[in-house]
A and B are shown apart, each in its own frame.
Chain A
Amino acid sequence: MSKSMRIKINSIKTYLSKPQNVILILTGILVTITTIAPIVAIVKDTFQIHPGTIDQYLSGKATGYTIVNYIDLFTSRLAKTNLWDPLINTTILAIGACVFAILFGGIFAYLVTRTNMAFKKYLSSIFIFPYIMPQWTLAVVWQNLFNSNAVTGTSDGLLAAVFNIHMPAWWCLGMFPCIIVLGMHYAPFAYILIGGIFKNMDANLEEAATILDTPRWKIFARVTIPMVKPAILSTILLVAGSTIGSYPVPHYLGLPTLATKYVSMNVKYTGEASVIAIIMMMFGVAIMYLNQRSLHSRKSYTTVTGKSGQITKVNLGARGRYVVAVVFIFITFFTSIYPIISFAFETFLPNPGDYSFLYTGNPNNLTTKWWVTAENISENGMYGQMGILHNKTIWNAFKGTILVALICCLTAGTIGTLIGYAVSKNRRGKLAGYVNSMAFLPYLMPSVAVGAAYFILFSSGNINLFNTYLALVIVGTVKYIPFASRSALNSMLQLSGEIEESAMILDIPWRKRMMNIIIPIQKSSIISGFLLPFMTCLRELSLFMLLCTQGFILSTTLDYFDEMGLYAFSSGINLILIITILISNALVNKITGASLDEGIGG
């Protein structure tokens, strides 16, 4: 063997002796396949002729390939309706929801972690409720609260029925409620990510600035904010990516976006819908590009070191700490408690949206039939459904949901954490950058588009996984790896290298270093990386709706009942989901000592 060959082999051996490099190679292969495959499927679909759709009509061919989908989408007289207006709406919605989520979640995170605000534990737990709930249920709650016959032409909502208050149309439908609902839904994201950094942040830097007589606002702007910048960027990435791909909220609140257009055009403009999916993906790539630029320009984010860390809390004053808390108790009542009360109440109404009990006080205007009816032969006013407690469709869907969520959380959490670790160890390396970007791409792709792409992939003659749990698990894992990888990366970047290095000097093997040092230190962030896929999976709709039918998992069943206007069932399912997540959170808390918000507010 020649000397140069030996040198090469040795250098490969040395390279592979580092666990992070092996992880990067393996995960690199995995994410390349799982990311490229759906993109190829969608790109191919834009050129393919679909029988019975516009491309067949325009090209005059029933099969084969064409570019008419691109031409028609960009130049036809429907371009404004099908492309440009939804594109503008999507952009405004993404920006609006990001700003709302970061301000609302970030301020709350600061108050919980860096001040002596009262009732932190309660507020911290209650704040994440909107994220626990499926995003469109907040939209349904919004409708049930503010719609009115006089303005929206639909049934009177609670305010109109009971108090005769009629909110204007811009409040009930369109951009404004979409921003608020999605912002509220994703604010816990910002709270968890930004709060995690605030919580672990050593106050020495701020104190040093204080000693140098720096004004408080300047400390906040020049010291505190730069330190939470990675978390803010992560929040922007996650919220913007999710918002662009959100289908149900704009659908229910009547805002045409690229995601809703994708679904509506899929019937007769299938190829053009795929072009729209590609445009949404380009949004994702653009956001990632901005993030990459920012990552390269930033200085250092090490906030947790081997040295002592301490947090000094801002004193809001004896009264101030209660005043601020009461303000948030009031706000979270409407974002977190009211929806649950509303869901529970809906399950006892004789007809969907029939609030006559509230102004008549007549108990005959309430019913338990939506829960206890055990047959569907006679006409019970339940559209042929059995009560929730006896409804096999609901309980089978529940089992399916738990199965998918558990497997996705374990696979996505483990792969994502390993990627986060490996990338942080090899931050400037090209392979690390590639793996990090590729692992994140699926998240930035709109959920409906990813679901559609995998539907095409899994619908060939050889692989047919439609309506199988395997399909949901694969797609869920690919989509949610970024939750864990970002969470792990953020926390690992804070971790000074000296901690692991000292263990390496003592010749402690990698597995032990991970299990006994790194994971315990950043436990809350890492467990968040597992819990987020679990919770998201429980109420995911946009991603899964094309891959399975209703009755397969709870979210599709919930959406089915919502669309049908059977709000008692959808509200009951919501309650089941919320209770499941709360129990899961409590169990994880009991077993591991960590929870989604515990690391921050507890």
Chain B
Amino acid sequence: MKKFICMLMSVLLALSLTACGGGNGGKETTEKSEVQKIIAEAQKMSLEELAKKAIEESNGKTLNAVGNSSRGKSAWPLFVEYLKTIDSSYSAEMNWQQPKNNKIFDQLTADGLKETGTFFMTLIQDGAQIESKMVQTGLLDTFVPKEWAEANSITPEQWTGYLPLQTLNKIFEYNNVSGKKYENCWDFVAEGEHGLFMGLDSEPVGKNFLLMLTKDEYAAYLKDAFDKLPAAKQGYFKTVIDAMESEAKDLNLGENGKYALAWIKLWVNSFNEQTDDGPICNTLVKKSAANQFGLLVYSKVRSVEETEDTSVKNLSVAAYQDGYEGIGGYGYCHYLFVTDNSPLPWTACAFIAYMTETVDGFSAWGKDLGGYSSNPVVARGTEEKFHHSEGSSAKVQCDTTKDRGLDWWEKQGKLVVEDPVYCASVAFTVGSWIETLDKYKPE
């Protein structure tokens, strides 16, 4: 047995050292790739022109795409219908994959090694990882549709950053059966509170939320909210805030960084980790969840079925309550990219343009509340069609299901919005500090 182990180890060592001579996973980006050249051309075209190119390129083919949202699959048949209005003979199937456990990044990295990739485009979330794993390595390219840019009063070339399909919001919601109210975002980290939230490892955008809190403008939100707390409540938090002063300096944060770190510390120490936003919503809408709250995707409230035990009316949106102070939730984006080795780049550009420039193209997401198109024209059209502000898209119309829209959320709702570059820049400073914090375990 000893000989066997020695032999095995020797073989492994030899093979590993040999393997170490291999290449790397990233791509050198010295000059424009073929796909980037096509994107540059496509950015000058209208949707209709792109559609014609797509028909030429992909008619009769089967396409593969990968995304964090399963609804890309629902958008495809609508796109095919649109192409059929230009050429009735057009047909194309699409396999839409939705990997879990963050595997989308591994999948795209692996596919990026090929000369011609499997995936023609992707819809992806988590700005921090996109920046460091996908964009800096040259695996994904941003295509900015001409009419989308026009709707945002810019040209495609003027747009910096990635192309967002939509902003989604995770918001603070609480069970109102007992009459208990949360009037300040610091109430969510008060002693004895245990909010329901997805694990930071299983959904990295949740961690991005915490990272974003340390950015100056959001740290300022926290300071303002703290200042508005009654003195009796401030005492408990003050000790922690003061203790965070040196940490904030070590982490090179701004003057209000200590407020952000204190809130993060108290949150990580107290939140009750759940596998998904679905179970969080299911818990909070029940009578038994009196005095509980969570930070969850807003759109989940749409599917609650009314019974004796369960009602969406048992749920209140913290930021909708009069007098509420501080951050109301977190906004993050679904971004659209063309893969740098896309087998069908014109079709990718046309599909992306269709989803971002038309109400129909966005309807796979737009039919539900809590998802806001990045195109203001489409956002308006979506509201006209689905009336989210009246709660029409939900099973029950009440204050909780009446979506006030992204503009409201960003201004009055004090939504913390993900900034991929900022997240990537603090991922291993603030991010590593977060990992050292003790996590809550029910006792």
Contacts and interface: CB of A to CB of B under 8 A. Distances in A.
A268 B25 contact: no
A553 to B, nearest CB: 13
A51 B105 CA distance: 11
A165 to B, nearest CB: 13
Interface in A53-88: 53-54, 56-57, 62-65, 77-78, 81
Contact of B305 (A43, A50, A63, A351): A351
B436 A153 contact: no
A268 B126 CA distance: 12
Interface in A263-296: 263-268, 285, 289, 292-293
Interface string B92-131: 0000011111110111011101110010000000001101
B282 A550 contact: no
B309 A460 contact: no
Interface string B422-443: 0010011001100110000111
Contact of A356 (B66, B110, B310, B394): B310
User: Counting chain B CB atoms within 10 Å of each CB, which of A264, A267, A562, A566 scores highest?
Assistant: A267
Contacts, number: 236
Given A289-B1, A351-B305, A354-B309, A459 B113 contact: yes
Interface string A324-360: 0000000000000000000000000011111110001
Contact of A36 (B15, B196, B281): B15
Interface residues of B, number: 85
A156 B286 contact: yes
A266 B102 contact: yes
Interface in A124-157: 149, 151-156
Given A351-B307, A459-B110, A566 B286 contact: no
Contacts of B443: 169
Interface string A543-562: 00110011100001001101
Given A153-B442, A379-B393, A464 B97 contact: no
B107 A466 contact: yes
Contacts of B280: 565
Nearest to A461: B113
Interface in A365-402: 365, 367, 379-384
Interface string A164-178: 000001001110000
B26 A354 contact: no
B133 interface: yes
B110 A43 contact: no
B279 A51 contact: no
Contacts of A149: 283, 286, 288-289, 292
Q: How large is the interface on A (under 10, 10 to 19, 20 to 34, 35 or more residues)?
A: 35 or more
Contact of B20 (A44, A289, A384, A461): A44
Contact of A563 (B98, B103, B276): B276
Interface stretch (B4-12, B40-48, B79-87): B4-12
A82 to B, nearest CB: 8
B199 to A, nearest CB: 8
A564 B395 contact: no
Contacts of B70: 384
Contacts of B106: 455, 459, 546
Interface in B171-217: 194, 196, 199, 201-202, 204
Interface string B237-271: 00000000000000000000000000000000000
Contact of A354 (B99, B307, B395): B307
27 contacts: A40-B16, A44-B16, A44-B19, A44-B22, A51-B133, A52-B424, A81-B435, A152-B272, A155-B286, A156-B286, A161-B309, A169-B441, A173-B441, A293-B1, A351-B304, A382-B303, A434-B4, A437-B4, A455-B106, A460-B110, A464-B111, A549-B66, A550-B100, A559-B100, A563-B275, A564-B278, A565-B275
Given A174-B441, A252-B275, 8 more contacts: A43-B12, A43-B19, A52-B105, A54-B432, A154-B274, A292-B1, A354-B309, A383-B303
Interface of A: 36, 39-41, 43-44, 47-54, 56-57, 62-65, 77-78, 81, 149, 151-156, 160-161, 169, 172-174, 251-252, 254, 263-268, 285, 289, 292-293, 350-356, 360, 362, 364-365, 367, 379-384, 433-434, 437, 455-456, 459-461, 464, 466-467, 545-546, 549-551, 556, 559-560, 562-566
Counting from the closest, the 4 A-B pairs by CB-CB distance are A459-B110, A52-B132, A565-B278, A565-B279
